Amino acid sequence: MAKHPTTKQKLSRSRVRSRYTTFATNARRKLTDSAPIVTCTQCKQPKVNHRICPTCGYYRGKKVINKASPLDKVTKIKA
Ligand SMILES: [Zn+2]
């Protein structure tokens, strides 16, 4: 006899997929409602509104991140 709760019947594939689809839909809706996707004015790529564009590094027409040169490697930690 099993001491932990066990399922009495196998869930059909349709029922399992339906449950996970609902979960995915809700998660996607939550993400899109909180952060609307807009097109970047600089490079016309999709980006999250009120965030720096990950493609070109521009925000409100100003260059914030230099995407051409990658960040300098941290070699020494200053105390
Ligand atoms: Zn951009």
Rounded to an integer, the average pLDDT of 50-68 is 85
**C-alpha 62 – ligand 1 centre gap (Å):** 10
**C-alpha 55 – ligand 1 centre gap (Å):** 5
pTM of the predicted protein model: 0.43
pLDDT at position 14 is: 96
Give residue limits of the domains in the chain: 36-68
**5-38 tens-digit pLDDT:** 988 999 999 999 999 999 999 988 887 777 788 8
pLDDT at position 18 is: 96
**C-alpha 24 – ligand 1 centre gap (Å):** 28
Q: How far apart are CA 20 and CA 15, in angstroms?
A: 9
